[in-house]
Amino acid sequence: MKQSIVSSASGLVSLLTTAMMALLVVLSSDRALAAEIVVQNDSVAVPGAGTPLPAFVQNERAAAWLTAPVAGDIIGVQVLWDSQFGTNFPSQELGIDIFAGGVFPSPGAPLATIVAPVLSDLTINEYRHLDPPTDLVALQVPVTAGQVFVVSLEFLNQSAGNPIASGVEFDGDGCQANTNSVFAIPGGWTDACSAGVVGDFAIRAIIRPVPEPGSLLLAGVGLVGLCGCGRVGRK
């Protein structure tokens, strides 16, 4: 009888261990494979459908204020870039910063920086690492549902005064309030709409949702039920 109890307990521990390992696999798979969401204010359908804005000098910035629709991780950013003829050479700029939402038009604390991105005309330039082109450090910034954050492109190359220079695209259906800002020299952070930008910047973020707590609990209960961990035979 004693041996039977010990054997049952040992089997229960083994089943619990197996169930927990399986649950960890499920959770890691859910986080890795959850459908990605592109968060954007602009309505530019394809590269080139918007209007490029060659109006910046070195160290100025164009920024999009975005709101996370779900809890998850920012794992990428996108910038639509073009020129009047769409044939300019790729342009290396200073960086792309992700900031916490501050008091518009000034962003809050910096959260991540993509260093020296290269942007090409007529392209959705997408970055998923902080160190292109080596791509050794993945971009991952956690956000909560409803959180406001800012994605800002800082310029290295002057485009102001050159109408055929490349620039970030904006859409053609109006500049939405509190969603676009520019860092001007002089002047600092300014509402892009007030500065004369007539559309929303095509600067976007890619968010990978994380599993909801309720779905995690259901997954755990289901695995425990499948392994029979809640039943210990009596003799």
Q: What is the pLDDT of residues 112-162, one digit of tens each?
A: 999 999 999 999 999 999 999 999 999 999 999 999 999 999 999 999 999
pLDDT for 211 equals: 82
φ/ψ of 213, rounded to 5, equals -55, -35
pLDDT for 228 equals: 52
For residue 46 the two structure tokens come to 């394809």
Q: Which of the four pLDDT bands, split at 50, 70 and 90, describes residue 10? A: low
The answer, yes or no, to whether residue 14 has pLDDT greater than 50, is yes
Residue written as token pair 């994605």: 151
Q: Pick the closest to residue 121 from 175, 173, 47 (CA basis).
A: 47
Whether the Cβ atoms of residue 150 and residue 102 lie closer than 8 Å to each other: yes
Q: What is the pLDDT of residues 70-120, one digit of tens each?
A: 999 999 999 999 999 999 999 999 999 999 999 999 999 999 999 999 999
Q: Which of the four pLDDT bands, split at 50, 70 and 90, describes residue 16? A: very low
The answer, yes or no, to whether residue 31 has pLDDT greater than 60, is no
Q: Which helix (H) or strand (E) holds 213?
A: helix 213-227
3-state helix, strand, coil in the chain (%, to 5): 20, 35, 45
Calpha distance 83→188 (Å, rounded)? 25
CB atoms closer than 10 angstroms to residue 136: 8
pTM: predicted TM-score of the whole model, two decimal places: 0.79
Instruction: List, as one string, the DSSP characters of 16-83.
Output: HHHHHHHHHHHHHHHHHHSPPEEE-S----STTSSEE-----TT-EEEEEEE-SSSEEEEEEEEEEE-
| 68 burial type by CB count under 10 A (0-12 exposed, 13-18 middle, 19+ buried) | buried
The answer, yes or no, to whether residue 181 has pLDDT greater than 60, is yes
Q: Which of the four pLDDT bands, split at 50, 70 and 90, describes residue 212? A: low
For residue 167 the two structure tokens come to 């620039």
Calpha distance 117→130 (Å, rounded)? 9
- Given CA atoms 81, 86, 87, 88 in this order, what sign does their dihedral have? negative
